[in-house]
Amino acid sequence: MKPIRWTLWKGTAALLLFLFAASCSKDPAETVLLTAVQVQETSLVLPEGGTADLNFRVTDKEYAFVSDPAATDCEISLVTADNHDPVHFRLVRVARQGEAGTWLATLADNGSGDEYQEEIHLKIRRRDGTAVLSGRIQVCSEEKPADLAPDTGLPVIFIDTQAAITSKEDYVDGTLRIDGRGVADGLEEVTCQVRGRGNTTWTWPKKPYLVKLDQKASLFGMPKHKRWILLANFLDRTMMRNIIAMKVASMTSLDWTPRCQSVELVLNGRHAGNYLLIEQVRVDKNRVPITEMTPEDNSGDALTGGYLLECDFHFDNKVQWLSPHGRSNQWIWGRNDVVPFGIKSPDEDEITAAQTDYIKDYIEKTASALYGKDFTDPEKGYAAWLDTDSFIDYWLVFEVMGNHELGNPGSVYMHKDRGGKLMAGPVWDFDWGILSYKTSPQAQTGLVNGKAIWYARLFEDPAFRARVKARFEELLPKLQTIPAFIDETEKMLTRSATLNFRMWNPADDASQNGGSIINGDENMSFHDAVRRLRTIYEERLQVIGRNL
């Protein structure tokens, strides 16, 4: 008879080996969570009896699923907005692409000869029985007439490109023309190049674009230029957060604020919805009005400017650094004494080492003066290096709009002209969390940016705080006209909003925010969202007045 202890040991070992083998053979799809499916194309045209390809990405690159549409247990499908199978076309193939997490789906027309236009989603069924949907995709038959923009009371921009716009780096040749629709000046067809733009915004279904005209032109009465931006404002149910921010900024003494115009966009014959045409932030006599440097400006007064800088936590500029040197080797959210700087102008392919060294050194000296023991001294402190008035007005725009990105710097700009001090501005990118207590709950009772980059230190100077308070009171009569401006803008955008939100659902922004909507009004009606925006704006003026 074998000893009992030996028998028990053998049984335990066998059990452990079984559990180990089971864990090693577990399907990766059961251990990797699928949270989002992102499609590259938002519209497809299917020739009769033919096919079209749809590029998509799963955010969890290692996620595996049964992808053969012919398999009975296939976990990917096409569904309409009301969760039915599409009638006129089907999914015939799904294949991995080269990069992890990227896939290609092929759709095929059923050959009925019918004209159709349907909005669908890609749907991936997860192991727990739930499903993840992609953003909306508009699928049309080849014979369907071009869905040109209806009359919404806004001018229409028509862009036609020789290929699909799929990259933020590579331009596609095309043409642009404007139909003013009786409310604005039109523009005869001109040649241009178009590419995508944005960081998070480029991953959403409704894409933003950068347009570079071959020749400078004036659009909607704005000064001539080659470069223009079409903002999608995908997550903004009011479609006016950027418009209001630019209006507020234009009331201040900032050197330059981008001008803009709401439009309908027709891209390659299809109505793409409401867009905001806006001037791109560029160094130019009609934009950021500082001296344009050349590679020869390497000494003396010429070396002192002009420079356009961007503080952005994405840290995606070619020439970039953290300031002050030595205080930290990485930027940390909420660390107001460490700022991620990047150089936007001179251009990365023209800037010289001498120019880079100069502006880095200037920023370091500014930071040293700001955080030094004599920081309030007008000759030894921060005032000798930065233009206080511009920094006050810049802060007020962010504070009035409740834009927390001054403390979590994204698209925060500064500039320095030849022989001048460091200036704040221009303002840019006011769609994420603006005038929203959901993103900035502290805005209900206090300041949003009192502890933002550099400002936490600036507000330690009683004289600076007093100047901010006085400037706010000076601007207040102008700021109090904004609610009426919101009402006017609401009337202007009403018809456009109706059509835009039939195509796009702002609540899809939750896919980029851990499943939570961002502004808090994405599921509201357009008019309810505008009323909420107006109320929060009026409350912000009262709250700021009480806290300064």
Interval 318-368: pLDDT, tens: 889 998 765 666 656 666 678 899 999 999 999 999 999 999 999 999 999
**Once rounded to an integer, what is the mean pLDDT over residues 163-184?**
95
37-39 and 260-267 strand pairing: unpaired
Interval 283-315: pLDDT, tens: 999 999 999 999 999 999 999 999 999 998 887
Give the chain's mean pLDDT.
Answer: 90
Interval 232-247: pLDDT, tens: 999 999 999 999 999 9
pLDDT at 262 over 70: yes
pLDDT band at residue 118, thresholds of 50, 70 and 90?
confident
**Once rounded to an integer, what is the mean pLDDT over residues 121-136?**
89
pLDDT at 145 over 80: no
Nearest to 290 by CA among 344, 211, 218: 344
Q: What own/partner pairs with CB < 8 Å and gap ≥ 24 does 465-474 have? A: 465/548, 467/388, 467/392, 468/392, 468/395, 468/396, 468/548, 469/548, 471/389, 471/392, 471/393, 471/396, 472/396, 472/544, 472/545, 472/548, 473/545
pLDDT at 43 over 90: no
**Per-residue burial over 196-222, b = 16 or more CB atoms within 10 Å of its CB, e = otherwise:** bbbeebebbbbbbbbbebeeebebbeb
Structure tokens given for 514: 């851990």
Amino acid 5 reads R
Q: What own/partner pairs with CB < 8 Å and gap ≥ 24 does 530-537 have? A: 530/238, 530/240, 530/486, 530/490, 533/238, 533/240, 533/241, 533/244, 533/435, 533/486, 534/483, 534/486, 534/487, 536/402, 536/435, 536/436, 536/437, 536/443, 537/244, 537/400, 537/435, 537/482, 537/483, 537/486
Greatest alpha-carbon pair distance for the chain in Å reads 102
Distance of CA 533 to the CA centre of its chain: 19
Q: Which of 62-66, 80-84, 173-177, 253-257 shows the lowest per-residue confidence on average (mean pLDDT)?
A: 80-84
172-179 and 187-196 strand pairing: antiparallel
**Architecture category of domain 31-141 in CATH:** Sandwich (2.60)
Map residue 380 onto helix, strand or coil: coil
Q: Delimit the CATH 2.60.40.10 region(s) of the chain.
A: 31-141
pLDDT band at residue 113, thresholds of 50, 70 and 90?
confident
pLDDT at position 195 is: 97
DSSP 383: G
pLDDT at position 333 is: 62
Residue 21 contacts by C-beta under 8 Å, 6 or more apart in sequence?
none
Contact 136, 503 (CB under 8 A): yes
* Phi and psi at residue 24, to the nearest 5°: -70, -30
pLDDT at position 325 is: 61
pLDDT at 4 over 50: no
